[in-house]
Every structure is written in structure tokens, then in C-alpha cells.
Amino acid sequence: MSVESVKNRLSRLFKLILLTCFVFFIVSGFYIFPFSNVNEQHQNFILPSPSIPISFDNRTIVVTRYKEDITWLDLYLHHINHVVYTKEDAFALHNIPINKGKEIMVYLKYIIDYYDRLPGVVAFIHGHRFAWHLKEPDDIVKSLRALKWGRFDYMPLQAFYVTNTQIIRDSPNPQYAFNWKFWNDTLRDIVWPPADYIECPCCATIAVKKHLILARTKQFYLRLYNYISNSTESSDRLALTLEYVWHIIFGQPFKIPKYQPCDLFYCYENGTIKDCARVECTNVNFTVQANTSVCNLDAHRNLICVPTGR
């Protein structure tokens, strides 16, 4: 074989390699940078939350989602860290295998997952932006923008109304009876005897400071999560029962009075809640003081939290 023939073959081989590389980069570039509108992608897919929220301001929103459209979250609350737990979606970054107990399992799973790296304040919310129980304000976006983050250790995210219930063993009222059974099964070791009467803000959308969450052990939250998972009670009954006792789990008194809107949210002088998308609230300091109360168990193993005078 002549030298010229070898050169021709090498030249053809080199050109073939170049062509192959060119095709490879074209194809790979198509998949890496698809020719589609970014906004269309955002509308069709829920962007996953980071596995560890960035704690630039020491607050996080935890969202319980089933099939709700939560595009509003990134559109209007992108400046606040948030973690979305999606039920019955194996492809979700944070997945809850079963849709049971409404928001309960999401709230508990977040606490279990992040127990050792909680932010200063956690806001627990539902996946809907508007709902019948959202009053004063009627929009969860407005609530979270205008919220006086960290003013109280435990804060409802609406000032609509308080709800109440009783805890009665063997009561003919099935809710009262299950209240007693649930308390005996899950809360006996931490708060006993149970309350006769409970009064608390509706409807399980709350902001809680880190030290109140950590006042209970991680094992407590694990036991409660497993109890809910294995319960034969309806999701509605379970969710309603926890709605009555979240504040007690987090160290608050059995009866919590109704808050006024301006106790919880920044208001104008006329008493209406501010729209903090505007300039009025841009200079609000959201720094959270870590220890505004001290929590201890009393002689009856009830958790008592005493303010330190903030």
C-alpha cells in the first residue's frame, strides 16, 4: 500500500470522526437546551424545591400538595425559602406515599426530615392559595408577605375565627370520643391529663418557631407519623383532631384567644392589612430572635413555655 493511499484513508477517517463529533454535539445540545418556551415549562411542571432550603433569612414555608396548582408559590413567594411535599407522586423530590390525614403527614414528615437543620421560623400551609377558611386576609400570599414573622412563638396565618372541641372518653359524639382516644394514644406521655375543652385558631395553617418544634423529640414526631399512617380513622377525622392539638403539641395553652389581624400582620393606619408586594414593607426586618421563651416540663409532664420578655 502506497504512502498516498494511507494518507487518503487517514484523511477520510479524520473527517468521519469530525462529522460524528459534530452530530453528537448537535443532538446533545438539543436535549440540554430544548427549543421550548421557559414560561410554558414553568406552567406545565412544578419545579422541585432544593433538598436543603437556603437559610438566607431564617424562615421557610412548608407546603402540603396533592394535585393543586402551586405555580403561585414561585411567582409571588420566590423570595421566601419553601419546601413542597407532594402526596402520591413518586417522582416528586419530597414525596408522601399516601394521601392521608390531609396536611398532617406533610407537616410531620418535614419536621422529621429537617429536625436537625430547622430554620428559625417554619410556616406550614396548604397547597391552595384561596380557600373558604382564609379570611383576614383571604389570600395566603398576602398573609405570608405581610406576616410579622417571629413576633409570636406560635402564629396562625389568618385571623378568621377560633374553633373549639371537647375531649370526652366514651362520648356519644364521635369526634369528642376520638379526641380522647387520640390523646391517650399519642399525647399521654407529654401532656396529661387531657384538656376538657380546647379553643384554638382555625384551620391548621401556622407559623412556629424552631425552639417550640425542638421541645419535642424527633422520636415523638416519628411515632405520631406512624400512628397516622396506620390509623383506620378517616382523613377528615384525623385532620380535624390534629387541628385541635397542633398548638398543644407546640407548647401553647389549651385555649388560645382570637387574634386581631394587626396582631399578626403589618397594617395601615386604618387597620387594613398591608399589601407587602408594595414599597411599604420592603424595609421590614424579618430577623428572628431564637429564644423568646423558655420551655420546660412541669410536675405533670406538661410543656410550659414562659416568655423571656421580648
Q: How far apart are CA 213 and CA 228, in angstroms?
A: 19
Alpha helices (runs of H) in 200-282, residue ranges in sequence order: 210-213, 218-230, 235-249, 261-264
Give residue 215's region: left, alpha or beta (phi > 0; psi -120 to 50). alpha
* Its pTM surpasses 0.75: no
* pLDDT band, residue 1 (cuts 50/70/90): low
Average pLDDT value for residue range 181-192: 95
pLDDT, tens only, 74-106 = 988 988 999 999 988 888 889 898 889 999 999
Nearest to 140 by CA among 245, 273, 250: 273
Q: How far apart are CA 203 and CA 234, in angstroms?
A: 17
Cell 436543603 -> residue: 52
Q: How far apart are CA 83 and CA 96, in angstroms?
A: 13
- pLDDT number for residue 95: 87
Q: How far apart are CA 8 and CA 55, in angstroms?
A: 62
pLDDT, tens only, 32-42 = 333 233 232 22
Low-confidence winner among 15-19, 45-49, 204-208 (lowest mean pLDDT): 45-49
Sheet strands side by side (includes 59-65):
95-96, 81-87, 59-65, 121-126, 206-209, 154-156
Q: Is the model's pLDDT at 143 over the cut of 70? A: yes
C-beta of residue 120 within 8 angstroms of C-beta of residue 53: no
Return the H-helix or E-strand segment holding 228: helix 218-230
- pLDDT number for residue 76: 87
What is the DSSP pairing of strand 59-65 with strand 81-87?
parallel
- pLDDT number for residue 290: 43
pLDDT, tens only, 220-266 = 999 999 999 999 999 999 999 999 999 999 999 999 878 888 999 99
- Output the nine-digit C-alpha cell for 75: 411567582
* pLDDT band, residue 131 (cuts 50/70/90): low
- pLDDT number for residue 12: 67
- pLDDT number for residue 134: 59
